[in-house]
């Protein structure tokens, strides 16, 4: 889920947050994943993160679980934030691998084990090596999956072999979920045995992404593949600006305004606006929105 911000991009917009939460739940999402990469976790203050989590939990009202990104570089800071999330009712914390510094497997394992020991919430590992420079290796994963407090992994590597490795090495845990974070690989991952997806495109293409999962579960792989392929055009225009500028602009265009991005991320350049609108219009019938 993107993070709705006030007009000056300082502070969480409560009304718009509640509106977006309601829109997503009404259109069938099975959970809300806040403060991820598209949620601008890297740019928000601790106060803003806790405020957002509180609002989302209140609006969700137990209808779907709420996962919140508590990741950072400092083990202690991550643990402290995770404990704050527990106080406002978050169901689980997503913890990205540390970034900027290149740590060893031993340090990575210790990072997660320390957080698990000091935090009461279940932990979802978050692997996005293109952004962090660290890929959770098979050796590290085999060790981490032994910890009962670690209940899942979101893999945004885009590497099918990587996803397959996590699935194969967690089969002994019936309570462990592998979630794909690369929207282009939703159906592929499900076929391999993944449990679901954390899909940023679902902020806009909610019904489409939910239907990919539902059609897979019902065995209609042909229709699921058609819908999987259909999101490629939206994914293409998302690359017209730095994440999540086009995604947030698209939310505005379909009637669920979420404000601008936090600096240093700037809005998409004007030369792309017409094409973004044109592409969104093609999804209107399925999604039930009109581009404004």
- Decide: 4 and 16 in contact? Cβ < 8 Å: yes
Question: Which residue shows structure tokens 């994440």?
Answer: 243
* 126 carries an active-site annotation: yes
- Decide: 283 and 234 in contact? Cβ < 8 Å: yes
Per-residue pLDDT tens digits for 55-76:
999 999 999 999 999 999 999 9
Per-residue pLDDT tens digits for 184-222:
999 999 999 999 999 999 999 999 999 999 999 999 999
State residue 80's pLDDT score. Answer: 97
Q: Maximum CA pair distance of the chain? A: 51
Predicted TM-score (pTM) of this structure: 0.95
> Which fold does the domain 14-220 belong to in CATH?
TIM Barrel (3.20.20)
pLDDT band at residue 132, thresholds of 50, 70 and 90? very high
User: Averaged over 246-256, what is the pLDDT?
Assistant: 97
Q: Residue 7 pLDDT more than 90?
A: no
Q: What is the CA radius of gyration of the chain?
A: 18
Q: Residue 81 pLDDT more than 90?
A: yes
State residue 8's pLDDT score. Answer: 84
Could you state, in order of their start, the residue ranges of all structural domains in the chain?
A: 14-220
Residue of 54, 154, 207, 248 marked catalytic = 154
Judge whether 204 is annotated as a binding position. no
Helix 221-230 to helix 206-218 angle (10° resolution) is 160
Residue of 126, 166, 249, 256 marked catalytic = 126
Q: Residue 122 pLDDT more than 90?
A: yes
- Quote the CA–CA distance of 91 and 87 in Å, as a whole number: 10
* 42 carries an active-site annotation: no
- Strand ranges across the sheet with 32-34: 32-34, 66-69, 92-96, 123-127, 150-155, 177-180, 196-197
Per-residue pLDDT tens digits for 142-166:
999 999 999 999 999 999 999 999 9
Q: Residue 84 pLDDT more than 90?
A: yes
Q: What is the dihedral angle through the alpha carbons of 179, 183, 186, 189, rounded to the nearest 10 degrees? A: -60
């Amino acid at each position: 889920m993107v993070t709705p911000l006030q007009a000056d991009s300082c502070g969480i917009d409560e009304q718009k947050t509640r509106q977006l939460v309601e829109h997503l739940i009404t259109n069938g999402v099975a959970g809300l994943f806040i403060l991820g990469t598209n949620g601008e976790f890297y740019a928000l203050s601790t106060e803003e993160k806790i405020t957002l989590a509180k609002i989302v939990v209140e609006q969700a009202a137990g209808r779907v679980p709420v996962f919140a990104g508590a990741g950072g570089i400092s083990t202690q800071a991550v643990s402290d934030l995770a404990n704050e999330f527990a106080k406002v009712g978050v169901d689980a914390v997503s913890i990205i691998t540390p970034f900027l510094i290149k740590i060893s497997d031993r340090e990575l394992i210790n990072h997660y084990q320390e957080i698990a020991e000091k935090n009461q919430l279940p932990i979802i590992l978050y692997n996005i090596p293109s952004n962090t420079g660290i890929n959770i290796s098979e050796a590290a994963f085999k060790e981490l999956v032994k910890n009962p407090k670690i209940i899942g992994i979101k893999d945004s590597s885009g590497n099918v072999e990587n996803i397959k490795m996590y699935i194969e090495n967690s089969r002994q845990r019936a309570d462990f979920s592998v979630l794909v974070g690369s929207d282009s690989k939703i159906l592929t991952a499900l076929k391999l045995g993944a449990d679901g997806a954390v899909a940023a495109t679902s902020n806009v293409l909610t019904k489409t992404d939910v239907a990919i999962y539902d059609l897979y579960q019902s065995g209609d792989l042909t229709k699921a593949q058609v819908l999987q392929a259909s999101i490629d055009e939206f994914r293409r225009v998302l690359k017209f600006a730095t994440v999540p500028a086009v995604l947030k602009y698209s939310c505005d265009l379909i009637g669920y305004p979420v404000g601008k991005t936090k600096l240093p991320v700037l809005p998409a350049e004007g030369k792309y606006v017409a094409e973004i609108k044109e592409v969104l219009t093609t999804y209107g019938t399925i999604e039930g929105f009109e581009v404004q």
